[in-house]
Amino acid sequence: MLKIRKEIYEEMINHCINSLPYEACGILAGREKVSYIYKIRNIEPSSVSYFMDPLEQLRAMKEIREKNIDMIAIYHSHPWGNAYPSQKDRELATYEVYYLIIAIEPKIEVKAFVIKDNKVQEIDLKIEQDDY
Ligand SMILES: [Zn+2]
């Protein structure tokens, strides 16, 4: 199961909406649950694919290491598609992290997956309120 802090979840969805008509992408990090979001520039602006800016991605991964937290997931949006990994998404899923896909139109839908060896498995997603 993948747990995400509610405010991070909402920030991620807003990032995806604000990036329309293109796909948005980024990295989610934390310890047991996602508590940090790193919005990464999509250098291949398209409605059907994305490519994370390598420099921004590197910076985010460095900061994650320095904070002593883990990269938990990579997210990207499908502006007018299903919340399901495309063939290209499966081919590019090289990290051992969860992959989140956010479908925007006509209805916002968020799903999490483990993608390995071109096989896709859906994972439960839990949005958690802050527990101060
Ligand atoms: Zn995709």
In this predicted model, what pLDDT tens digit does every residue of 71-119 receive, in sequence order?
999 999 999 989 999 999 999 899 999 999 999 999 999 999 999 998 9
Q: What is the mean pLDDT of residues 40-60?
A: 95
DSSP-assigned states of every residue in 57-79: HHHHHHHHHHTT-EEEEEEEEET
pLDDT of residue 75: 98
Measured in whole angstroms, how far is the alpha carbon of residue 61 from the centre of its chain? 14
Q: Measured in angstroms, how far is the CA atom of residue 99 from the centroid of ligand 1?
A: 10
Average of per-residue pLDDT values in the chain: 95
Q: What is the mean pLDDT of residues 27-32?
A: 96
132 vs 65: which has the higher pLDDT: 65
Q: Residue 39: pLDDT band by 50, 70, 90 thresholds?
A: very high
Q: Measured in angstroms, how far is the CA atom of residue 105 from the centroid of ligand 1?
A: 14
Q: Measured in angstroms, how far is the CA atom of residue 19 from the centroid of ligand 1?
A: 14
Count other Cβ atoms within 10 Å, centred on residue 62.
Answer: 10
Q: Does residue 132 carry a pLDDT above 80?
A: no
pLDDT of residue 28: 98
Q: Does residue 37 carry a pLDDT above 80?
A: yes
Q: Residue 131: pLDDT band by 50, 70, 90 thresholds?
A: low
What is the C-alpha to C-alpha distance for residues 28 and 73, in angstroms, rounded to an integer? 5
Query: Which of helix, strand or coil describes residue 37?
Result: strand
What domains appear along the chain, each with residue ranges and CATH number? 2-128 (3.40.140.10)
pLDDT of residue 73: 98
Phi, psi of 35 (to 5 degrees): -125, -5
What is the C-alpha to C-alpha distance for residues 49 and 88, in angstroms, rounded to an integer? 8
What is the C-alpha to C-alpha distance for residues 100 and 25, in angstroms, rounded to an integer? 10
Q: Residue 130: pLDDT band by 50, 70, 90 thresholds?
A: confident
Contact 33, 5 (CB under 8 A): yes
Q: Measured in angstroms, how far is the CA atom of residue 50 from the centroid of ligand 1?
A: 7
Say if pTM beats, i.e. exceeds, 0.85: yes
Q: Measured in angstroms, how far is the CA atom of residue 132 from the centroid of ligand 1?
A: 34
